Amino acid sequence: MTSTIPAAGLRPEARLLLALAAPRWDAARARHTRELLAAEVAMDWPYFLDQALCQQVVCTVGRNLGRYLPRDKAMLPHLWIYSAAYEANARRNRHLFAEFGGILRALNRREVRYAVRKGPSLCALVYDDPGIRRMSDLDLLIERESLEAVGGILTELGYRQGVPSEDGERVVPHERKTKLFWAVHLNNALPFLKPTAEPEVPWFEVDLCLDLFQKRSAGGVETGAVLDRARPVEICGEPSFALSPLDQLLDICLHLYKEATSYLSILQGRDLNLMRFIDVVESLRVTTNADLERLPELVREVGAEREIYFALHHAGLLYPDAIPTGLLKQLEPQDCGYLDEFGGLEGRTRRWSQGFLDRLFHPDRWTDLPGPSSIPTI
């Protein structure tokens, strides 16, 4: 990831956070970070910590402070909080890897076609330190005809579809209206959960995705074709399958667009976070030039122009040197007015009154919403 970050208009805390949230470190970044720490600026440290948590980069910040800036402790109050977050997440991810590895073994034994998406795949294939990225669940892309078989495997392993009970010790089945809404409107099966005795992992969760595109999306791609392109890799210590590099980049950008523009995500404060844009930049970094040359053709073929440009354009605002200019130009749609819109996937398009960088670091951006999401919470 480039050391060049935007400066104009950003609070000093945001500039420092962008510098410290780098998955890869070098001398130039260390020098720039020390300059920011040493600047005669009154830092709002509670705001900085809150943003490190909201942007889901507190673990990365903790790793970098403890490993690369050990003599700068006096400049940052309560360093132990950030270091503890990194160490706790590393332990948490080890628990998740062990559990998810068992699921992948079971799928392999039954010869189910699947590909691991998002967190576990990124931790295994993109980041060299799985402790810097927090995972929440095991995301699997499967064909619709495999849903019953995979659901049976998960049931045998102790998983149930539902929500945690108040005491967190069991899974309560979903209401009928929730099941109907997800079946009609969403591209995922309802999540499978299993309570645990681990304090850092209250429950394990598996998310079964049947289509990379949302049902209201203009584009589409056959899940079978995506799985045909899946590559054999090792994930969670097991022989497994991941999306091809281009499909993985496509998937990450589609997910980012969905979360950034969904009413439900905005209301829950999870529509924008820095880690998702870092995922985009780092996935670009590990994609070969030959594959990147094919990206515009794939995007046009599957009809993902809006989603891909949205993700790369905004990632470029945060990391100006990380997105190839020529690639961005090839992907640019004729009308970019949609970049400031939200709610389109729910059929209620609105426009933001704030710019992207203001929204990203503003915890109250949800006040722009005219009303609640129509998607039932789970």
Asked whether residue 284 carries a pLDDT value surpassing 90, the answer given is yes
Which sign does the torsion angle of CA 324, 126, 88, 377 carry? positive
- Answer yes or no: is pLDDT of 140 > 80: yes
Which structure tokens are listed for 96?
Answer: 């998740």
Helix intervals (H) in the chain? 12-20, 27-38, 45-54, 58-68, 79-109, 118-125, 147-156, 176-185, 223-228, 245-261, 263-267, 274-285, 289-302, 305-318, 325-331, 356-360
**Residue ranges per structural domain of the chain:** 12-77, 87-243, 245-378
Per-residue pLDDT at 181:
73
Handedness of CA 100, 102, 107, 113 (dihedral sign): positive
Mean pLDDT of 207-231: 93
Task: Compute, in degrees rounded to 10, the torsion defined by CA atoms 16, 133, 292, 258.
Answer: -90
Q: For residue 1, which of 351, 279, 370 has the smallest C-alpha distance? A: 279
Mean pLDDT throughout 181-190? Answer: 75
Check residue 1 and give its pLDDT. Answer: 52
346 has pLDDT over 90: no
- CATH class name, domain 87-243: alpha beta
Mean pLDDT value across the chain: 89
Q: How confident is the model at residue 319 (pLDDT cuts 50, 70, 90)?
A: very high
How do residues 27-83 score in pLDDT, each as one tens digit? 999 999 988 888 878 889 999 999 999 999 999 999 999 898 876 656 788 888 999
Question: pLDDT category, 268, cuts 50, 70, 90?
Answer: confident
Note the pLDDT of residue 2.
Answer: 46
Specify the pTM.
0.92
Given a cut of 80, whether residue 267 has pLDDT beyond it is yes
Q: Each residue of 92-122: pLDDT tens digit? A: 999 999 999 999 999 999 999 999 999 999 9
Hey, what amino acid is at 232? P
d(CA 165, CA 160): 12
The DSSP 8-state label assigned to residue 367 in this structure reads: G
